[in-house]
Amino acid sequence: MLESNRYDWQPRATAMPLLTAGQQPRFADGVDELQMLTNADFQPRREVYLPTAAKPFITATHEVTAELSGVSYADERIGARISAAAPTMVVVAQTYYPCWRAYVDDRPARVWPANYAFQALEVPAGVHQVELVYQDRRFYFGAAISLATLGACLGFCCGRRHRRTGVAPVSKLPRRSSH
């Protein structure tokens, strides 16, 4: 017998939230990372895979009990309060993209690719406010160039139309003599 609600949303008790913290950092690249992520022993609640290039910059060394509170999601912004006794990793289960910027207590923090496709950042021990903000400066630069180009094109077209009609400005009309 087929299920009638096959395409309805079915919540899973094992699903992880978008934002997690406390995982032990592990380091691997490429095929090695993919193999570890697809291994039956992989425990995403306890470990996070980062690129080997991150190793010199990460001070967290082990799994840490961390508490997330005040988690908020808005357009182009994710925020949370993190409390941990030791440096810890915060993992965001959204696609890694370099335009995402992280801030810990309003200071910039580095965002790393995590688990091959997600994002992660390190938070020091203690209680901290974390924010991830989408800031695509190239988009705004491109939009400004596009608007300037549109303005130049409109100016050029209006100037050509004025010359094509043959209507001369009043100041350039020949004067009649009064004799």
pLDDT per residue rounded down to tens, the chain (179 residues):
456 677 888 888 888 889 999 999 999 998 888 888 888 899 999 999 999 999 999 999 999 999 999 999 998 999 999 999 999 999 999 999 999 999 999 999 999 999 989 999 999 999 999 999 998 877 777 878 888 888 888 888 887 766 655 555 556 556 666 66
For residue 85, give the DSSP letter.
S
What fold, for 19-134? Answer: Maltose phosphorylase, domain 3 (2.60.420)
- Is 44 in contact with 57 (CB distance < 8 Å)? no
For residue 31, give the DSSP letter.
H
pTM exceeding 0.85: no
Q: CB-side exposure of 167: number of CA atoms within 13 Å?
A: 6
* CA–centroid distance for 24 within its chain: 23
- Is 136 in contact with 149 (CB distance < 8 Å)? no
Q: What angle do CA 19, 25, 26 make, to 5 degrees?
A: 130
So where are the chain's domains? 19-134, 137-165
pLDDT of 4 reads 67
DSSP 101-157: EEEETTEEE--EEETTTEEEEEE-SEEEEEEEEE--HHHHHHHHHHHHHHHHHHHHH
Whole-angstrom distance, CA of residue 52 vs CA of residue 61: 14
